[in-house]
Chains A and B, each alone.
Chain A
Amino acid sequence: MGQEFVLLISSSVFCIGACGFIIRKNPLIMFMSVELMLNSVNFLLIAYSSFLNSLDGQIFALIIMTVAAAEVVVGLAIILTIFRTRQEMDVDHINALKG
């Protein structure tokens, strides 16, 4: 399968993730959309590391996975803390920092 197919799959998943981040209101699903975007970039890096016969892309993908794991853990802890203090999970209602 050619490089165009990989680019098409990867860019559509990235855009679907961006769309989900914009249109959803539940912070958990927004986090899942961010995961989708990170994963599409991972797939592109790995496919091109195979096309170009170089392992640098795979190392990049490994580091991205580390960053994503750390990000998810901290983000979920923040969501849990917000839920404990406010008892609701709609991002449109969390506006205490608005000033």
Chain B
Amino acid sequence: MFDLATVFEFTRDTVIFTVGLTAVLASLGVILCSSPIYCALYLISHMICLALLFLLYNAEFLAVVQIIVYAGAVMILFLFIIALLGGKKEVQELTFERSIAVAFIFTLLGELYLSATVGPTKQIEGKINPEIFGTAKAIGLELYSKHLVAFELASALLLVAAVGVICLAKFSFAPLKRR
């Protein structure tokens, strides 16, 4: 009666559509909320929607990394900073510059979408075994053989960032004179 593959494909499409729409709405919430703490919560829900989308596109390792690194570490850091600095509400008024910015952004969106969809996409045949595509094993094999230099550079980048943050946080600066 029903072809099982068709039903599966339809369900997957519906889930991808819903999760993608939720991700866009959550990102709208990030830039439209006036209180920083609500922005952070919307950003966390956006990250979780993106992790679900990564799962649906066969990237299970990166979905877990997204949850741990972004929704776990980075957003907790944001929330700590907001709690430390006090989330003051920001008055949102529609000025002339802001209307210009919104018009510019809509133009940018149209340009991006058109230039991305008009051109042809060449289908290439990768040689990844579909059984392990996107798992930690496949990522590790690829990362430690083909992209070893990028991996080492990333570790150097993280070390430099850690040293920089310690320098910024350890030495206290005298307050600037008010003008």
Contacts and interface: CB of A to CB of B under 8 A. Distances in A.
Interface string A51-62: 111111011011
Interface string B131-171: 00110001100110011001000100110111011001100
A60 B65 CA distance: 13
Given A35-B74, A52-B126, A59-B147, A70 B31 contact: no
Contact of A32 (B39, B102, B109, B161): B39
Contact of B138 (A1, A55, A63): A55
14 contacts: A1-B16, A11-B112, A17-B27, A22-B101, A24-B31, A39-B70, A42-B66, A43-B54, A53-B133, A55-B134, A59-B150, A69-B161, A80-B84, A96-B176
Contacts, number: 221
Contacts of A86: 175-176
Interface of A: 1, 3-5, 7-9, 11-20, 22-26, 28-29, 31-33, 35-36, 39, 42-43, 46-47, 49-56, 58-59, 61-63, 65-74, 76-81, 83-86, 89, 96
A19 B101 contact: yes
A46 B17 CA distance: 16
A74 B164 contact: yes
B81 A28 contact: yes
Nearest to B138: A55
Contacts of A24: 31, 90
A91 B133 CA distance: 44
Nearest to B40: A32
